[in-house]
Amino acid sequence: MREPRPRPDLYLTYWEFAARRQEIFERRLAGEPGPWTDDAILLRFRFCNVFRASDRVSQYLIRDVVYGQKDTDLRDRFLRTVLFRLFSRPSTWELIEDRCGTVRAETFDARRVGRVLDKAWASGQILYTSAFILCANRAYGHQRKHRNHLALVSAMLADDLPERIVELSRLEDVYLALREYPLIGPFMAYQLAIDLNYGPDLTFSENDFTMPGPGAMRGLAKVFENLGDYSPQDAIHWLVNQQANVGQQLGVSPPTLLGRPLHAIDCQNLLCEVDKYARVAFPHLRSNRIRIKQGFEPAGPLPKPFFPPHWCLKATRPAWPVAAARARRGAA
């Protein structure tokens, strides 16, 4: 079976980006004043964290949505997780809980929440994140996207989906169960499966299954000359396995999250971010995206992160990974 063939410069960039971006996160977390890197591209543009669970929205989900209420049950946690991720916007979540009370399966009223969101939408409030492109058809007969998504989560509860997924034996099975519903495409089903896996009800390895989104597919096309006989999913798992080799091969220390190595979801996300990075560093590698939309503007100190308790992460702060010394080409 032919293995993937990386582009040497892009493959090195993939691991250097991971090390440098995580170093920024750790230095900010430690309260160090900026700048936190000498990489001109990282200083200029906004990139997601290396570890998905460290990102601001994922942190909000884990800390406030999944574990923020101590007396929740399986159905509550499922509803809270799926409802939040469909919008992926803390301000929308806070509006719902402020106007309708704590989100719980037993008292969830899609019509009441819909009226609240109708008013917010009519006043010009942004309800959805710009990070995901969600299906917006009228699968449940409503004119407005948010009304269809509220009907979707109601249908999932009515079908006892929370009870069914905890009986499944693979992360991929959770993904497939979510894919059975309208408005849930491959990428969103994968994201929801990972989110549900943060809670106490599912404890699958994040290396069990992966599903690359559009950004990761663009990243694969840049990092690799070809994938050999590997599927895109297999190529992501190949990257996960290369962590043991890149230190000796490339002189780059792969980042860890309090001792936790990169998992498939992280390597998938990194491909998205390296695709963005390469638009500036390697502009000759063209795709259907040619620029980075958001600049980097730090919004004050980072709060202490909170991760799923069943991960059992070390309490000690890791050493900062040091990337191989190399002049960055194409920095602007």
| 293-307 average pLDDT score | 80
The SS3 assignment for 226 reads: strand
Q: What is the pLDDT of residues 2-36, one digit of tens each?
A: 999 999 999 999 999 999 999 999 999 998 988 89
Instruction: Render pLDDT for 148-207 as a digit per residue (tens, 0 to 9).
Output: 999 999 999 999 999 999 999 999 999 999 999 999 999 999 999 999 999 999 999 999
Going by C-alpha positions, the residue among 12, 7, 2 that lies closest to residue 328 is: 12
> What confidence tier does 317 reach under pLDDT thresholds 50, 70, 90?
very low
Low-confidence winner among 24-38, 239-253, 294-308 (lowest mean pLDDT): 294-308
The predicted pLDDT at position 331 comes to 32
Residue pair 174/201 in contact (Cβ under 8 Å)? The answer is: no
- In angstroms, the Cα distances linking 132 to 38, 65, 296, 301 are 30, 19, 19, 26
Q: Which residue has the tokens 């194409």?
A: 330
224 phi/psi in degrees, rounded to 5? -115, 140
How many C-beta atoms lie closer than 10 Å to residue 192's C-beta?
21
Query: For residue range 67-124, what is the model confidence (pLDDT) as tens digits?
Result: 999 899 999 999 999 999 999 999 999 999 999 999 999 999 999 999 999 999 999 9
pLDDT, residue 289, reads: 67
Q: Is the pLDDT of residue 332 over 50?
A: no
Domain segments of the chain: what residues? Answer: 5-54+209-311, 68-198
pLDDT recorded at residue 18: 97
pLDDT at 14: 98
What angle, 0 to 180 degrees and rounded to 10, lies between the N-to-C axes of helices 8-29 and 264-281?
A: 110
pLDDT at position 318 over 50: no
**For residues 310 and 197, what is the distance between their CA atoms, to the nearest angstrom?**
10
How buried is residue 296: exposed, middle or buried, by Cβ count under 10 Å (0-12/13-18/19+)?
A: middle
> In this model, does residue 315 exceed pLDDT 90?
no
